[in-house]
Amino acid sequence: MTQAPTLALPDFSKPFILETDASGLAMGAVLMQASHPIAFFSKPFCPRLRRSSTYIRELHAITTAVKKWRQYLLGHPFVIYTDHQSLKELITQAVQTPEQQVYLAKLMGYDYSIQYKSGKTNVVADALSRLPEKTS
């Protein structure tokens, strides 16, 4: 039997961990500290993002999660884990498109680093990005 996780209260003396993922249809993220979840998030992509590249969908998932949990992350160091290898070089790579510039501008002012986490181990964010869409 699976138990629902107990959410932890944030401790602003400890670094935050943000795990994100994007599937073809949605994004998912979990905010944690010391392997304890603080909050979960999942949202379907609009039609335009569904047609976008994996890189853009993953980057959108990161910026959306950072914006959602801004009150926890701004002014505090945090690590972003993504299963998209090229995003770990986001800060140092040359910006190629205006779309990338928009996303990078959304991350300015935050104290973060980006680490690669294989899809097999990024299970919570991956599961959240694959939740079925609600239909009416």
Total tally of structural domains belonging to the chain: 1
Write down the pTM of the prediction: 0.82
Residue 136 — pLDDT band, cuts 50, 70, 90? Answer: very low
Look at residue 99 and tell me if it is in a domain.
yes
Choose among 76, 22, 29, 28: nearest CA to 53.
22
Look at residue 133 and tell me if it is in a domain.
no
Look at residue 8 and tell me if it is in a domain.
no
The whole domain housing 45 covers 16-128
Any idea what the CATH number is for the domain that residue 56 is in? 3.30.420.10
> Alpha-carbon distance 22 to 131, whole Å?
11
> Alpha-carbon distance 76 to 26, whole Å?
27
Residue 30 — pLDDT band, cuts 50, 70, 90? Answer: very high
pLDDT at 1: 41
Look at residue 62 and tell me if it is in a domain.
yes
Look at residue 123 and tell me if it is in a domain.
yes
